[in-house]
Amino acid sequence: MKDTRSIDPTSLQMLKVAREEGLETAWDRYLAQRPQCGFGELGLCCRNCNMGPCRIDPFGDGPQKGVCGATGDIVVARNLLRMIAAGAAAHSDHGRDVTETLRGVAAGEIKDYTIKDENKLKALALEFGISTEGKTVQEIAGKLAEAALEEFGTRKGYLQAIDRVPSKRKEIWGKLGIIPRGIDREVVEAMHRTHFGVDNDPANLILHGLRCSLSDGWGGSLLATELSDVLFGTPRPVRGRSNLGVLSKEAVNILVHGHEPILSEMLVEAAKDPGLISAARAKGAGGINLVGMCCTGNEILMRHGVPVAGNFLQQELAVITGALEAVVVDVQCIMPALGQLAACYHTKFISTSPKAKFPGAIHIPFNEHNALETAREIIRQAIENYPNRDKNRVFIPEETTEYVAGFSVEAILSALGGTLTPLVEAVKNNKIRGIAALVGCNNPKVTQDYNHVNMAKALIARDVLVIETGCAAIASAKAGLLLPEAAELAGAGLAEVCRALGVPPVLHMGSCVDISRILTVAAALARELGVDIADLPVAGAAPEWMSEKAVSIGAYVVASGIFTVLGTVLPVLGSNVVADLLTRQAKDLVGGYFAVETDPFKAAELIIAHIDAKRSALGI
């Protein structure tokens, strides 16, 4: 019988190894949970006070209200708002850490990092109203860091990046009262509103969910992206290789997994240390092989071309190759199961963040003030572990695929000659039908990578330029869609544009926080055309999403005016009121709205129909 857990041949090979070894993976744990709690899937269970937990019966035979009197509509809306708040907090805390690092570098307190993009530093300073005249780079960086930290609890009443938004969009947000006032403020207010006895109006709860998500997309995530570029360099197109075959049978293999580039940048630097390379060879290894996983992988692949071993559902499979000396993690999307699994092999599972400790992990605290030495210590531990590798248990799939990544906004503008006008003209001339952003995770409920890859192929075949971040981008990397040669799979118009510019039809724009790059491009296109973002022939999709961060992302994309298709269902179907708000009323309120379609080909058709309608309305 055909194995439908993944379309990735390396994943299927490793799942076979796992079965033979008697090892458990996310797919096994998913099957063990079935049937999953129907109340939870519909969003109809509440644990917000100790009179419960309460659940609302969707069929009308059981309780229709919680002990406090909350209806299903209230419970679903509160649960969704809490998901948005958690997702916004995760991405925005990432932004805070990067901002704190910039402040330390500017003050001379942090020595191991330098400012790699002075031009972007100065441009951001001017955006914040900071004069650069006669100031040193360090002085500018210090002023910018302080201004960025102010965004988390700003007293001026709105986030600075709102000035990037077209005036029509700001007017819509203003009328609805959802202009984000401060990053932390909106998260805190979300938690307050969902506490027992506070906000019990489903529509009001959802509107604040949009405001909270906007504080992520136009606040925390945007700062994470922009200030990472300042510190680590703005990505430019770079080639590399992807999939589990990037692991080496001869070298010390170190897998970096998580989301924050502060740690991974230092590991990249330390892995080049001639002394550590010599130490690895002294242990019988051919060298040091640093590879990425998930969004940390995206961060270092787009800045350094570091190979990426896979996306979310491959983290356990990488351990099962038996070839990893160390898995090094920071925060987000790291399975707690990794510690127990690593113990079945010689692999060291090393956690580094005080915010994220794991069962079975060795904890090596990472601090920006001694970043390089900590990175060297982590690599030393991996080197010392190399002789413990059982070569008889090593199985590394051979498949690898080349990719081109690193399409930041600046890189796209450079390819277009410094202006968006050529892109606008290509859209007007119907060479590019529209633009679709495919983002998000893997989910064992969905055949791994199937929706990502097939939706992207269906869209580019119809001349829709696809831009991607996160695990979606890694799926396309493994499928060969991030290569200029993939233009042969595109429609005639898109293929012509790709060949003229030497770019792939699917552009890798970074990690999941880098969806802020997509928002920046959308806002710039809207200004170029003199319209609102909601008027553009653009759409978004999260074909295999699973995390609360994805819920926040989807909410801020919709709130920014962009139609968004989900491949797995939000837990809101227990409330007709909330479902209707998100899939129908939102269109009239904010211009964007959600649709759910599990079939990637039908989802692509929804996106194409939306793009064509927007083209028609613009008269192009």
Which residues are part of a known binding site for [Ni-4Fe-4S] cluster? 259, 295, 333, 441, 471, 512
- Cα angle: 402, vertex 297, 378; to 5 degrees: 125
Angle CA(481)–CA(486)–CA(491) in degrees, nearest 5? 115
Tokens linked to 32: 């063990």
Spatial distance between the Cα atoms of 419 and 416, rounded to a whole number of angstroms: 6
- Bridging pattern class, strands 348-351 and 401-405: unpaired
Q: What is the DSSP string of 447-463?
A: -BTHHHHHHHHHHHTTT
- What are the beta bridge partners of residue 45? 55
Helix (H, G, I), strand (E, B) or coil at 469: coil
What are the backbone dihedrals phi and psi of residue 3, each rounded to the nearest 5 degrees, phi first?
A: -85, 115
Residues making up the annotated binding site for [4Fe-4S] cluster are 37, 45-46, 49, 54, 68
Give the CA dihedral 331, 333, 335, 338, nearest 10 degrees. Answer: -60
Paired strand residues for 596: 566
Query: What kind and span of H or E run contains 7?
Result: none
Taking phi first (over 0 means left), then psi (-120 to 50 degrees means alpha), and beta for anything else, what does residue 129 get? left
Sequence-ordered list of residues with C-beta below 8 angstroms from that of 538, at least 6 positions apart, any chain: 434, 435, 436, 437, 522, 525, 562, 611, 614
Beta strands per DSSP E along 509-586: 538-542, 564-566
> Which amino acids are annotated as binding site, given as ranges?
37, 45-46, 49, 54, 68, 259, 295, 333, 441, 471, 512
Three-state DSSP at 240 gives strand
52, 67 in Cβ contact below 8 A?
yes
**Which residues are within 8 A (CB) of 557 and not within 5 positions of it... i.e. 6 or more apart?**
217, 437, 515, 519, 540, 564, 592
Q: Please, are residues 460 and 510 in contact by the beta-carbon 8 Å criterion?
A: no
The distance of Cα 337 from the centroid of its chain, to the nearest Å, equals 21
Element (H, E) at 405: strand 401-405
Q: SS in 3 state form for 578-603?
A: HHHHHHHHHHHHHCCCEEECCCHHHH
Neighbours of 259 (CB within 10 A): 27
Q: What are the φ/ψ torsions at residue 273 (nearest 5 degrees)?
A: -60, 120
In what helix (H) or strand (E) does residue 466 lie, and over which residues does it extend? strand 464-468
